[in-house]
Structure 1
Amino acid sequence: MSLLQTALTTATDAALGIWLGTILFFSFVGAPTTFDVLGDDAGQVVNAIFPKYYLLGVGLGAAALVAVLVAGLVTAFDAPRIGLLALVGGGIGMNAYARWVLIPKMDRAGDDAFAQYHKQSVALNGVTMLAVGTALVLSHV
């Protein structure tokens, strides 16, 4: 493996690993702890974090996507690499949708539709977590 390939693999793994770690931490530690400590006031904190959280996912996904694309140009676009691109692209798409479509909908709806949009947000987060985790595994096939 050349130095360039090693650097691209490291960049892909770092971006996907940080992204997955962020999703896991926020989902299972950060958000639940915030609600445990602050109760009803936690919504304000979480609403302030969400735009940055999704933007971070888009940025990390873009970094991984670029690394995978360049690696494909250096070696080849085989089936695992194409699958990896699809998973990362899907994750970016879900984070972008949540950031620029879902969050504004939630803000406009207020408390009335919180349950509906929260359920959608949780589902998107779960699917993104699976996509990023699978992409991390697939990056080593």
Structure 2
Amino acid sequence: MLETLASSVFLMAMGVWLGGVVFFSFFTAPVIFERLPRNQAADLISVIFPRYYKLGYACGFLMIVAGLYPSWREPGLGMATLSLSFALLATICSIYAGVVVLPRVRRLRQTAASSAGTSEHSANRAAYIRWHQISVTINSAVLILLITQVLIYGYRIRFVVAGDA
């Protein structure tokens, strides 16, 4: 019973988080930047981002809590422990992106915009671009970790839980 509950919560949180990352990254953000002027698009995205990261925090927390039971039950450092580790890493990445990177990107974007036409503009713009790229890289890492989670989960269902060899 507890195994079923833990697996269901883990799977649901993983699916919601992965779906959110895919939908935002490949559908929402590109359409917003395609349809709106760049500054308006950036303003809208900056309103969405805190909610986007909160979704990651909540789903990551649920995955970690739900992943504790199977990792404790499986002998040795098996797939459940690997899965739990990846959930923890994805959650840490999401927290870092939301708590550290997002405020810095916002601040650097404002600084770059307000320094237009000054000698500092190039350096400010470069700093903004660098931290924006860090944000994109972290988001990509979370996406890869979540896709890997799907593969691990499928492996665990087939080989570990079902005992299929």
1:34 paired with 2:32, answer yes
CA drift at 1:76: 2.5
Q: Please, which moves more after superposition, 106-115 or 89-98?
A: 106-115
Which residue does 1:134 correspond to in 2? 148
Structure 2: segments with no counterpart, 5+ residues: 113-124, 157-165
TM-score normalized with structure 2 length: 0.78
- Give distance in 1, aligned partners of 2:128 and 2:19: 26
Aligned equivalents of 1:124, 1:24: Cα separation in 2: 14
**Could you tell me which residue of structure 1 aligns to residue 120 of structure 2?**
none
Give 1:65 shift: 0.7
Q: Percent identity?
A: 28
Stretches of structure 1 lacking an aligned partner (at least 5 in a row): none
Residue equivalent to 1:63: 62
Pick aligned residue for 1:20 from 7, 18, 21:
18
The 5 A counterparts of 1:90-101 are: 90-101=89-100
For residue 105 of structure 2, what is the aligned residue in structure 1? 106
State the 1:139 CA deviation: 2.2
Instruction: Output the CA distance in 2 between the equivalents of 1:117 and 1:50.
Output: 15
Map of 1:77-96 to 2, 5 A cutoff? 78-96=77-95
Higher helix share: 1
Q: Provide runs of 4+ in structure 1 moved above 4 Å.
A: none
Cα RMSD for the two superposed structures = 1.4
The normalised TM-score by structure 1 is: 0.91
